[in-house]
Chains A and B, each alone.
Chain A
């Protein structure tokens, strides 16, 4: 049983398209994180959410605590957005242990 489910697993988009990646979780959480991982391994934390919505440039992240669901949106996608996007949650029942989704591999074609 996976505590965090992401969809889609793979996503190919044309440059300029609006992209949505979804994340559902089954545990009580203190925070949800969206991470970006480029080839080569480096991980960057994009957002940390405990409620509502956050925006950073072309990226928007939302969370619905009642529905245990979060979305990551990329507006006007660009080839440099090509990466793996990972949803992670800090569980409240386990002393803030982290659970990770399997990631969404995004390719943006020029």
Chain B
């Protein structure tokens, strides 16, 4: 099976712009989670989608949003970009939300905000 894919891999934006990142989970996986990783804050949970519904959300402002499509692909959007949004954005998928499910991570999208 193909792994989790994320596009684009690298992105440069300027302050005030918006950005959309895409994540394609492993075939058959219905849960997709998004994470932000920065040198200062480490890994932080953004949100989780399961069957097109947001099931959980971390402590991020409303500028961060996401959605999941019927084929389980997910997108996250960041509006009105700030310098502090520069980070590695990772998504991970798993089959369901059961306790026995491990997560499979994508390679990440490295976003730089100038």
> What residues make up the interface of A, taking CB atoms closer than 8 Å to B?
30-31, 33, 35, 41-45, 48, 50, 86, 88, 94-103
Total contacting residues, chain B, CB less than 8 A: 26
Asked if B107 is at the interface of the complex by the 8 Å CB criterion, the answer is yes
On chain A, the residues within 8 Å of B90 by CB distance are 41, 43
On chain B, the residues within 8 Å of A86 by CB distance are 42-43
Q: Which residue from chain B places its CB closest to the CB of A43 in the assembled complex?
A: B105
Inter-subunit contact A42/B105 (CB<8 Å): yes
Q: Which 9 A-B pairs have the closest CB atoms?
A: A100-B43, A98-B45, A43-B105, A95-B56, A48-B102, A45-B102, A41-B108, A102-B42, A45-B103
Inter-subunit contact A42/B97 (CB<8 Å): no
- Min CB distance, A54 to chain B, in Å? 11
Task: Work out how many contacts link A and B, with CB atoms closer than 8 A.
Answer: 55
> What residues make up the interface of B, taking CB atoms closer than 8 Å to A?
33, 35, 37, 42-45, 48, 55-58, 88, 90, 92, 97, 99-105, 107-108, 110
Report which of A42, A88, A97 forms a contact with B58, defined as CB distance below 8 A. A97
